[in-house]
Amino acid sequence: MSCLAAVFFLPALNGGFVLDDSFNILQNRLLYIDTLSAAELANATLSFHAGNGSRPLPMLSFALDYWRAGAMDATTFKTTNLVIHGLTTFFLAFFFRRLLLLAGCAPQRAAWGALALAFVWAVHALQVSSVMYIVQRMQTMSTLFVVLALWAYLAMRQVQINDTGRGRGMGVLVLVFGALALACKEDAVLLFAYVLALELTVLQFRAAQLNITKGLRQSFGVLTLLALLVYVFVVVPHYWHWDAYPNRDFSSLERLMTQARVLIMYLGQIIFPWPDSMTFIYDKVSVSRSLWQPLTTLPSIFLIVALLAWAWRWRAYRPLFSAGVLLFFSGHFIASNILSLELVFEHRNHFPLIGAVLALGDLLVFAWQRWHVGVRGVVACGGLVVIILGAATLVRAYTWGDSVRHGEQLIRLLPDSARAWKELGRAHFDRYQTTQDDSHLQRAIDVYAAGLLQVEEPSLASNLVIYKSLLGTVEDADWQKFLDVLRNAPHGWQNKFVVWTLMNNVNRGFDVDAQRVIKAINIMVDKASLSDLEFLRLAVFVYKNGRPEEANPFFIAFAESAPKGDANLHRIIGELLNEGHKELAAQLERIDASKEAVK
């Protein structure tokens, strides 16, 4: 079954790296390992987000993919993703089978039902972006271990219900698989919510021994209360913003209202998997500014409340349906909450889709029973569902199988999205890097020029300047256009990464005008929030590529933002003294000393 499901994704294997693959994988030099030495593997494992140590298992797997391919080969990475998807499908079938048995299904019906549910989950068109967007291995690996943890939990509870033991061994496996899931992505903490959803519906805290039932109820009651207290008194005060989040254009309240519409959109994509409705990029989703703006906000909230109420009312009558609904919404609890995340990502449905498939499958069974549909009707209906899902997945996979084709679809669906234009432009540039054929570079230039006519965004203008500089056709008007676009851009972290890219090209010796880059730097400092080390990076660049005195404001900004006694600051002061800049060195020393006086 897993191999059959994988067939639907094969057309996508030849696609390239996209979006965050670049920052997390391609630009992460610690993943470029030559040997399997402990030091190299450890550095790669801890390389996520500048070495903060989170998500170590996916990072390790990326390094191993590079090692076995000997290069950053997208097909190698995607193949690993597909293997993980196949493994998850395999174990998901066992999870579904055990869940159906605990819900009272006959063994044969449970076996066939589990295979059907797992297969539908595996071949749904939403899965293409989760599986073929390489960096989302963090999500898919987490789902694999969460499914294993839930399977082990059901095994433990089955033992307790049948009075054949306490299932302590399976309980240990729940903890082990849960820890492995957390080592892939932080939202695996929702494992508690998933087992709670199963207890409230299918399991109902049953056990042959009364003391186990009582212990389960008390334990879940206490843990649920603690989780609510942490959410109310820790999470909400820390993350809630009545005004817009930093570098976002929406507040916490606006985000919550918008997520109601997003969740309904996800359900629409699940039920009606039309490929063009799954645009992959959603940076133009409108924010809900009130319950009536857009008008779909309030109806979406009502629909979510109605679905939850329906699931709660049916938890004894159709426990599988209720479990599916609760699993779906539980899976979105973090991503659709008050954290300052982007509003929409398709891969956030990777685990919640399990709940949606379970709920919809049980509704179909309910309808078949109500309408007395025979076996032939069930087979025909199931076959139709698989054909529709498979066709939609094959269409998406074909599109994802070629970077240029994927980029062209993105701009067809999203002509006002800068990200869409960048994806197409980068696809042509990647071909130029592979072939060194200037015609591909010219196509990339044409894409960015056309994109700027649709949406004025600094990254489009800067890439146009860089690519035309490589081709030797850059003009003053191109630089002026970029500086004007940057000057008019809203405040945001994206602006500094545009400048970092230009600086990197200068540092690597490409024919990019350093003096124009310095002009961009002077504009950018008012367009993004900068750390002390980022000010230092700017200071060093300007010092090396411009007049030394032009770097003074950046050295001063670095000294003002650096902590008292910072080692980098002392090093810079020493270097400035050695090069004869005594006044600036003395000023930086005074700034550092004043911090102590203020304290």
Q: Calculate ∠ Cα 418-424-429, nearest 5°.
A: 120
Q: Hey, what's the torsion of the CAs at 193, 194, 196, 201, to 10 degrees?
A: 140
Helix axes 375-400, 107-123, angle to 10 degrees: 30
Question: Quick one: which of 569, 584, 518 has its CA closest to 547?
Answer: 518
Residue 119's SS3 state is helix
pLDDT tens over the chain, length 599 residues: 678 888 899 999 999 999 888 889 988 889 999 998 998 999 999 988 765 678 999 999 999 999 999 889 999 999 999 999 999 999 999 999 999 999 999 999 999 999 999 999 999 999 999 999 999 999 999 999 999 999 999 999 999 999 887 888 999 999 999 999 999 999 999 999 999 999 999 999 999 899 999 999 999 999 999 999 999 999 999 999 999 888 788 999 999 999 999 999 999 999 999 999 999 999 889 999 999 999 999 999 999 999 999 999 999 999 999 999 999 999 999 999 999 999 999 999 999 999 999 999 999 988 878 887 776 777 777 788 888 888 999 999 999 999 999 999 999 999 999 999 999 999 999 999 889 999 999 999 999 999 999 999 999 999 999 999 989 899 999 999 999 999 998 888 788 889 999 999 998 888 888 999 999 999 998 888 888 889 999 999 999 888 888 888 999 999 888 888 888 888 888 888 888 888 888 888 888 888 764 44
Q: Calculate ∠ Cα 177-181-184, nearest 5°.
A: 145
Q: 162: which 2 tokens?
A: 């049948």
Question: Quick one: which of 131, 505, 106, 103 has its CA closest to 322?
Answer: 103
Q: Which amino acid is at 426?
A: R
| Radius of gyration, alpha carbons of the chain | 27
Which helix (H) or strand (E) covers residue 213, if one does?
Answer: helix 210-230
The answer to whether 118 and 101 have CB atoms below 8 angstroms apart is: no
Buried b (16+ CB within 10 A) or exposed e, 238-251: eeebeeebeebebb
The answer to whether 498 and 462 have CB atoms below 8 angstroms apart is: yes
Q: Calculate ∠ Cα 114-274-455, nearest 5°.
A: 135
Please count the residues of the chain: 599
CA torsion sign, 547 to 469 to 414 to 409?
Answer: negative
Q: Which amino acid is at 358?
A: L
Q: Calculate ∠ Cα 321-274-367, nearest 5°.
A: 30
Residue identified by tokens 């230039």 is 445
Q: Output the CA–CA distances (angstroms, integers) from residue 46 to 35, 56, 58, 66, 248, in the order listed.
A: 17, 6, 10, 16, 28
